[in-house]
Chain A
Amino acid sequence: GAGVSQSPRYKVAKRGQDVALRCDPISGHVSLFWYQQALGQGPEFLTYFQNEAQLDKSGLPSDRFFAERPEGSVSTLKIQRTQQEDSAVYLCASSFSSGSYNEQFFGPGTRLTVL
């Protein structure tokens, strides 16, 4: 497709369940970012990949969060033992390069609700 896609668009999980969120970036985009957006807030950085290398994971809130991009294209964000505070929209963004003008193209997000 022409843009960044994410699946599922909506996910309801019971507290303690594991979830996996998928991101398909724009073809050829080197950089991939995950953000968490709580209701009424701006997106907050979680982690960043350049190709398959995870260069920055400083924003991951706990060791229950894990992200991978094994072949440098599709990425998965996994949350283990979900908690209610994990409820948010998870946005994926990609950019052509990591250069100074790094316009990021965002996907529609996955809205996670933890009951």
Chain B
Amino acid sequence: EVQLVESGGGLVQPGGSLRLSCAASGFTFSSYWMSWVRQAPGKGLEWVANIKQDGSEKYYVDSVKGRFTISRDNAKNSLYLQMNSLRAEDTAVYYCLPQLERRGYFDYWGQGTLVTVSS
């Protein structure tokens, strides 16, 4: 059974930092692209970033470029998102999601972790 357990969310002040983690199990983690997707309260889905199977390619939505860094540890079946210079508009539930290929779909969703940026 595929399991995706996101953690590391919480309340942080504007300008602060957080590191999200995602523990994956039930599939061959090293064979999948991995993405972070977020959803602000009452808003739609927004793709944030993804990383290739071996970590050699990383892509970001413009709004987080230069502030967020995606990384992975295939030995630990784990995905990370380092978030710096956080803004109120980064407040959202963050999901980590596997994709077999870049043009592919997200068929497994965890419960996500809530990040709240507020003073």
Partners in one complex: no
Which residues of A are in contact with B by a Cβ distance under 8 Å?
none
Q: Which residue numbers of B lie inside 8 Å of A, CB to CB?
A: none
